[in-house]
Structure 1
Amino acid sequence: MTAILLPVFIVCVTVVATELAAAWIHRVVMHGPGWRWHKSHHEPRRGALERNDLYSLIFAGLSMGLFWAGATVASPLWWVAVGLCVYGVIYFCVHDGLVHHRWPFRHVPRRGYLRRIYQAHRLHHAVRDRDGCVAFGFVFVPPVARLRAELRANQRLQDDGSSNAPWPGRDQS
């Protein structure tokens, strides 16, 4: 039984940890020094691909490296790689398919958690610049009312000129 439960546990923990890491990377890296790539994701898309898709290649490479390490060095790393792939499929389906309609069909959820994810990400894209955005997670998102209030507060800070940095300790270079 442990032979089945441990891999399932590793995969589940990896999916949750990846969401937490992705939200941090999105906020700090993509809306920071990596904005040059990520900016394309906040602009109208021209064609099937955008520069932001390069981040997916980095994460896919990390997963492939973990598959290799898991097969040759330590087998638990193989299950971590599976967890990264599971997260990648969730991201592809929810973020690229449901939210950004990068598939040939469109569906806008009318209720439930998928609607909350959809609305949260739309609020994230309500800001075209790298600063003042909300909802950096892709799968676990705060309530929409809280995000709307945070977005209004960020806009007031920028409109008042009372702060150029919506997040403390964040340089604007």
Structure 2
Amino acid sequence: MKTLLWILIFFGTFSFMEFMAWFTHKYIMHGFLWSLHRDHHHKDHDSWFERNDAFFIFYAIVSMSLFYSGANGFWYGWPLGFGILAYGIAYFLVHDIFIHQRFKLFRNANNWYARGVRRAHKIHHKHLGKEDGECFGMLLVPFKYFKKAK
């Protein structure tokens, strides 16, 4: 029973992180912390790193804190921490590697899902300012982008 609960908490946390990514992106990155996110929309620097990369630190700290709590008696900390970690890995693979090609991997991915996610992100980046943005999600994007990507 505990194993099933562990698995449910893990997948629930992973799923909830898509909402958290959307919320953080829309209301924090395109809100009061635009100063950190702006360089992701405006490539006005020569560095491989962006100030925007600082956002991963927050979720990494939360995940590591949950691992620590799991190691100290709060067993729910393990599936919560691993759910956040797994979403962070998925985010890195999809956003940084697949979409933005920070590493030259997954260049030939051309299925309907890949095209839809890539198109949605391209539409998001057409807005250079913090206002008037659209499509703030990462793994789940509006169906219209998949229809257009067929």
Q: Does the TM-score normalized on the shorter chain lie above 0.5?
A: yes
Q: How does 1:94-105 map to 2 (within 5 A)?
A: 94-105=94-105
User: How much has 1:125 moved relative to structure 2?
Assistant: 0.3
Quote the Cα distance in structure 2 between the aligned partners of 1:145 and 1:99.
Answer: 15
User: How much has 1:50 moved relative to structure 2?
Assistant: 0.2
**Sequence identity (%):** 32
Q: Could you report, residue by residue, the CA deviation over 1:37-80 in whole angstroms, capped at 9, with x for unpaired residues?
A: 00011012522210000001111111111111122141112110
Q: Do the aligned partners of 1:70 and 1:76 also contact (CA within 8 Å) in 2?
A: yes
Write the letter of the residue equivalent to 2:142. P
Q: How does 1:100-139 map to 2 (within 5 A)?
A: 100-105=100-105, 107=107, 109-139=109-139
**Secondary structure of 1:31's aligned partner:** helix
Q: Do the aligned partners of 2:117 and 2:145 also contact (CA within 8 Å) in 1?
A: no
Quote the Cα distance in structure 2 between the aligned partners of 1:116 and 1:57.
Answer: 28
Deviates more, 1:128-137 or 1:97-106: 97-106
Write the letter of the residue equivalent to 1:96. D
TM-score by length of 1: 0.79
Quote the Cα distance in structure 2 between the aligned partners of 1:3 and 1:106.
Answer: 37
Q: Do the aligned partners of 1:119 and 1:144 also contact (CA within 8 Å) in 2?
A: no
Unmatched runs of 5 consecutive residues or more in structure 1: 149-173
| CA RMSD, Structure 1 to Structure 2 (Å) | 1.8
- Paired residue total: 146
Q: How does 1:13-32 map to 2 (within 5 A)?
A: 13-32=12-31
Q: How does 1:22-171 map to 2 (within 5 A)?
A: 22-44=21-43, 46-105=46-105, 107=107, 109-145=109-145
Q: Do the aligned partners of 1:124 and 1:133 also contact (CA within 8 Å) in 2?
A: yes
User: How much has 1:105 moved relative to structure 2?
Assistant: 3.7
Q: Could you report, residue by residue, the CA deviation over 1:1-25 in whole angstroms, capped at 9, with x for unpaired residues?
A: x232111111100011111011011
User: How much has 1:98 moved relative to structure 2?
Assistant: 0.5
Cα distance change of structure 1 residues 145 and 67 upon mapping to structure 2, 3 Å threshold: closer
Bigger-Rg structure (1/2): 1
Quote the Cα distance in structure 2 between the aligned partners of 1:17 and 1:76.
Answer: 15
Unmatched runs of 5 consecutive residues or more in structure 2: none
User: How much has 1:108 moved relative to structure 2?
Assistant: 5.3
Write the letter of the residue equivalent to 1:92. F
